[in-house]
Amino acid sequence: MEKIIFEISEEGKRLDLYIAERTELTRTRIQQLIKDGNINVNNKKSKPSYKVEKNDFIEMIIPDEKEIDLVPENINIKILYEDSDIAVIDKEAGIVVHPSHGHESGTLVNAVMYHIKDLSGINGEIRPGIVHRLDKDTSGLLIIAKNDTAHLRLSEMFGSSGIRKTYIAILKGKINKESGKLETLIGRDPKDRKKMAVVKTNGKTAITYFQVLDKNEKFSLVKVNIQTGRTHQIRVHMKYLGYPVLGDSVYGRDNKIAGRQMLHAYKLEFLHPVTQKAMKIISELPQDFEKALKETGLEMGNFEE
């Protein structure tokens, strides 16, 4: 259980919005906490619409989450590489990486626990072996750590840009340049806490490089390398650039051509965390991505690294 006391520095805002702007919680989660009596104003139960006033005493209690019973599940996954220290998974779009409330089963972790018996435990019971993640509707490569030594070294490598991550994305619109770099802060969208956004303050540095592989009047195909790994980084940066990822219903719009965001983790290059062997692993484009390329009139072609 966590208890938070808020000192009111401004007045007139709704209670749920005031708290959302000062925490990582979504407004939906905050509204539920208010409804359950876990957020009180001046020791009294309130409503999300209550307008905060100076000298108000706001107390929020965040109950401990119930444990999720994690069960290995015989879900088909593609393992592109495996040794005694690591495995590299080719994740399908539509599968959540690790369990959470609302996604207690059917996740990549459930599948990995079934197919790979030895996993590192550094990230706790619900994220065994998970060093990094991909969004549910992003396809492509994920590294799994099979022991704690590999996990720690991989985490250091991700933190120090020791792993080169290459993505392929179809964007909405014709980009007016051939390549570029975006370096901004990314944080919670102040207008919608469920989203991330480019922000001026209270964010983390995000660095993205892109190269245009093909384009026409309506669409662009890009190769993207990210130096950092912020939540939704590519999707947020492409929207900020003015060319949202095709099919991204959160940062763009739904599209008949794409049933999900056309973003694919295409290649990983790194030194093996234990043997120091140079690793280069590529995930071929999935069928729905190839179909979207055909319908948009774009071609992957051969590109220099």
> What are the residues whose beta carbons fall under 8 Å from the beta carbon of 40, sequence distance 6 or more?
46, 58, 59
User: Does 135 participate in catalysis according to the annotation?
Assistant: yes
Say which of 135, 137, 248, 288 is annotated catalytic. 135
> What are the residues whose beta carbons fall under 8 Å from the beta carbon of 172, sequence distance 6 or more?
218, 219, 243, 244, 245, 246, 252, 253, 255
Active site residues: 135
